[in-house]
């Protein structure tokens, strides 16, 4: 055997004996604060529009989002979720169709909800939304201690409590939240937001508008290429507490559009394409009718997953829990089976 044939044979032997290892996946964890499963799966609630005082121009809102046909109604509200995610990903949480996705914490408000999502365990000692550093270790912190994800993680949030929930000081994960300026990169868009986010009329002192959070995150993704990023949109819950169903609905529609923008960027970028998962959920739901501005008592929630290896797309029947999200992400990062089915 001549030298050339020997080298070819050796290469083929090594190639088949030691196949190229797939890189660990990129993960986008995305939360929408206080969004009910009812709107996600059934679109705008006509009763809330017509039988309450939560809407300023009722006919305008109905004209934009309501139609009798369910399949069209939910597409009007969340077109990306129902035109793309439903067909290419997995959805959990339509309680009327044997797909149950629930919280396990009994508090049913934000800090306990986010702690459950991020740590995989409900903590009964968390009993307020106070800015107290979380003693529990989040999935962001765990992955930041691994070779594959270390210093490749970031979080962007509209609510200013997230540095405490994630415990940025202990975890070493950079967290931009509330009205914080973004100091880790400089682009024209980032500079504009840093300068102008407080010039926009401030609706809530501790929650900035989601469009700023979204674009700061998108700029960071483009420049830094994090392997795991957490984006926490917040407007929907605050509009809910303000008894503004029309603003809540419009914000949900806009957020669906922003998530689509993220996904479209991922599909065009060499670093992310074909190796990125989106995990989309909420921290808690809301009440019914007169209790809608509050969180209500139901633990029912919802989840959407989108990514490269998903099979059996659409609605998944069974019982699943928000406490399983952190372990699912951890197992996903290792390439092993998850309790929430992906493939």
Task: Give Cα separations from 221 to 60, 272, 307, 318 (angstroms).
Answer: 36, 10, 17, 34
> How many residues in total does the chain contain?
343
Question: 320 by DSSP, 3-state: which?
Answer: strand
Is the Cβ–Cβ distance between 323 and 281 less than 8 Å? no
Per the structure block, which two tokens stand in for 220?
């960071």
Do 177 and 159 touch, CB atoms closer than 8 A? yes
Q: Are the CB atoms for 63 and 55 separated by under 8 Å?
A: no
Q: What mean pLDDT do residues 230-259 have?
A: 98
320 bridge partner residues: 101
Percent with pLDDT over 70 in the chain: 94
Percent of residues, the chain, with pLDDT higher than 90: 88
pLDDT grade for 15, boundaries at 50, 70 and 90 = very low
What's the pLDDT tens digit per position in 42-57? 999 999 999 999 999 9
Report the pLDDT averaged over residues 186-209.
Answer: 95
Instruction: Indicate the pLDDT class of residue 14, thresholds 50, 70 and 90.
Output: very low
**The dihedral sign for the CA sequence 145, 146, 147, 153:** negative
φ/ψ of 340, rounded to 5, equals -85, 115
139: closest CA among 227, 64, 20?
Answer: 227
pLDDT at 20 over 80: no
CA 254, CA 211: separation in Å to the nearest integer? 9
Mean pLDDT of 218-224: 98
pTM for the full predicted model = 0.93
The strand ranges marked E within the chain are 26-32, 90-92, 99-102, 153-157, 175-177, 228-233, 276-281, 303-306, 314-315, 318-321
**Residue 231 burial (CB < 10 Å; 0-12/13-18/19+)?**
buried
CATH of domain 24-334: 3.40.720.10
What residue segments make up the domains of the chain, in order of their start? 24-334
Output the pLDDT for position 311.
Answer: 85
In this prediction, residues 79-92 reach a mean pLDDT of 98
Q: Are 224 and 176 in contact (CB under 8 A)?
A: no
Average pLDDT of the residues of the chain: 93
Burial of residue 106 (CB within 10 Å: 0-12, 13-18, 19+) is: exposed
DSSP 287: -
Distance between CA atoms of residues 71 and 118, nearest Å: 32
**Does residue 9 register a pLDDT over 60?**
no
Average pLDDT, stretch 142-150?
A: 97
């Amino acid at each position: 055997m001549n030298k050339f044939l020997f080298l070819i044979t050796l290469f083929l032997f090594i190639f088949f004996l030691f196949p190229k290892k797939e890189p660990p996946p990129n993960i986008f964890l995305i939360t929408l604060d206080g969004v009910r499963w009812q709107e996600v799966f059934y679109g705008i609630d006509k009763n809330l529009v017509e039988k309450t005082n939560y809407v300023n121009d009722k006919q305008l809102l109905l004209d934009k989002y309501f139609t009798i046909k369910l399949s069209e109604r939910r597409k009007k509200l969340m077109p990306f979720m129902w035109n793309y995610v439903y067909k290419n990903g997995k959805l959990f949480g339509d309680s009327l169709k044997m797909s149950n996705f629930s919280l396990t914490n009994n508090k049913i408000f934000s800090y306990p909800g986010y702690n459950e999502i991020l740590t995989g365990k409900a903590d009964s000692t968390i009993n307020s939304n106070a800015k107290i550093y979380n003693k529990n270790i989040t999935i962001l912190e765990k992955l930041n201690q691994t070779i594959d994800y270390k210093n490749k993680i970031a979080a962007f949030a509209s609510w200013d409590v997230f540095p405490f929930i994630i415990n940025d000081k202990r975890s070493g994960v950079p967290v931009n939240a509330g009205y914080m300026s973004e100091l880790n990169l400089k682009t024209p868009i980032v500079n504009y937001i840093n300068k102008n986010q407080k010039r926009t009329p401030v609706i809530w002192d501790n929650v900035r508008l989601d469009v700023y959070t979204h674009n700061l995150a998108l700029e960071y993704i483009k420049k830094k290429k994090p392997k795991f990023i957490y984006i926490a949109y917040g407007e929907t819950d605050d509009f809910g507490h303000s008894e503004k169903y029309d603003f809540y609905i419009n914000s949900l529609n806009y957020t669906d559009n922003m998530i689509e923008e993220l996904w479209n960027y991922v599909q065009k970028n060499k670093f992310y394409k074909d190796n990125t998962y989106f995990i989309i959920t909420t921290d808690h739901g809301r009440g019914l009718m007169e209790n809608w501005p509050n969180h209500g008592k139901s633990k029912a929630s919802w989840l959407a997953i989108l990514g490269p290896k998903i099979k059996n797309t659409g609605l998944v029947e069974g019982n699943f829990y928000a406490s399983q999200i952190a372990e699912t992400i951890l197992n996903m990062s290792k390439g092993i089976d998850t309790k929430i089915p992906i493939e």
